[in-house]
Structure 1
Amino acid sequence: MKRLTISAIAIAMIVASCGNAGNSDPKEQADSTNEARIEDSANPGAQPAVSEEDSKFAVDAANGGLAEVQLGQAAQAKATDPKVKEFATLMIADHTKANDELKSLAGIKGITLPSAPSEEMQKDAADINAKAGKDFDKAYIDQMVKDHKKTVELFEDGQKNVKDAELKAFIDKTLPVLKTHLEHIQTIEKSK
């Protein structure tokens, strides 16, 4: 039975890697790996995995968190407004902490997380980084408002739909911080 399970895992990994041969998007790679693991957990004797919804939440949350840190680092270097630089510092600190907590939890749960932001988020970051001065500040602020609205919605949906108790606890702990970030960046946006 163990040999059958090991073979099934090997086949699932090969199929997943073949299906992603041309796919360099870290988020999509993580999603594919998790899907293969979940499908394999249906085999007798396999170690149970978290639900597909739970792993998707974790991947999406990690993707957003990685992007926040990346953009925060760019804003620390390029922003001209001290309030924007201060917000960027907060983004790096808070999202690094949340990313580390999620990474630890994902390791325990057997969830593969992306190693870098998705191609879409990297493109957004490149577009923002191509700007300078006040144009950079405005683009960064606009992106932070957009991203935090999306992330707050992701976590609110997670409160309703995530099944794993430890992931729910992570959501409950992190959501108030994300709401504070959104309020903070909206205040900066209104002052411009």
Structure 2
Amino acid sequence: MNRFFSAVATALILSAPVYAQDVSGMNDLEFAHIAYTADVIDIRYAHLALALSDNPDIHEFANTMIRDHTAVNEAALGLLNKLGATAQDNAFSQTLNANAEEIINTLSQLRGAEFDAAYAANELAYHQAVNDLVEGSMIPNIDNAEVKALFEQGLEIFKAHEVHAEKMVESLN
């Protein structure tokens, strides 16, 4: 179940947008929207975990996701405000949201250990996919130094989340 769910989550996260639009060719404001959207999605996953899981480790992880992703989004909004800019919606962000709905619907049907394992697998796959996208396609193509620095700081935090999620997956198997 975990490997299957992980593969499905990764496919849903990255499927259509990669073909619909070359992310590396986007501008900083489109990158900002993708990152903000990805953070909001992970916050939604975390709230679902708090509602459906009784596992204290899952709750600790979910609370960390809410805290850290909210802080990064607040910093991003502050920087956009300082720059007098607005993040630009795009096909990639829209696909992330559509795919997240499918994942949330799937996770919502699970309970107990099955939910915990699927949530952990999804978190690992999600952080791997988004971190790879940020590190490999976004950061190298960001023009504004302040925006790039914010993405680099966020990536450091989210790589720690990836390690934590990997340990969670291992402990639930």
TM-score range, shorter chain: 0.7 to 0.9
Moved more, 90-99 or 126-135: 126-135
Give yes or no for contact 2:42–2:65 (8 Å, CA) kept in 1. Answer: yes
Structure 1 unmatched ranges of 5 or more: 1-27, 29-50
Of residues 44, 47, 69, the one that matches 1:70 is 44
CA RMSD of aligned residues (A): 2.1
Larger fraction in helix: 2
* Number of equivalent positions: 142
1:98 counterpart = 2:77: no
Deviation at 1:54, TM superposition (A): 1.6
Deviation at 1:106, TM superposition (A): 3.2
Q: Which has the larger radius of gyration?
A: 1
Q: Distance in 1 between matches of 2:86 and 2:34?
A: 16
1:180 counterpart = 2:160: yes
Give yes or no for contact 2:76–2:150 (8 Å, CA) kept in 1. Answer: yes
Q: Pick 1 or 2: higher relative contact order, CA cutoff 8 A, min separation 6.
A: 2
1:109 counterpart = 2:88: no
1:36 matched to which residue of 2? none
Deviation at 1:110, TM superposition (A): 2.6
Give yes or no for contact 2:30–2:88 (8 Å, CA) kept in 1. Answer: no
Structure 2 unmatched ranges of 5 or more: 1-16, 18-24
3-state SS in 2 of match to 1:111? coil
Identity, % of aligned pairs?
25
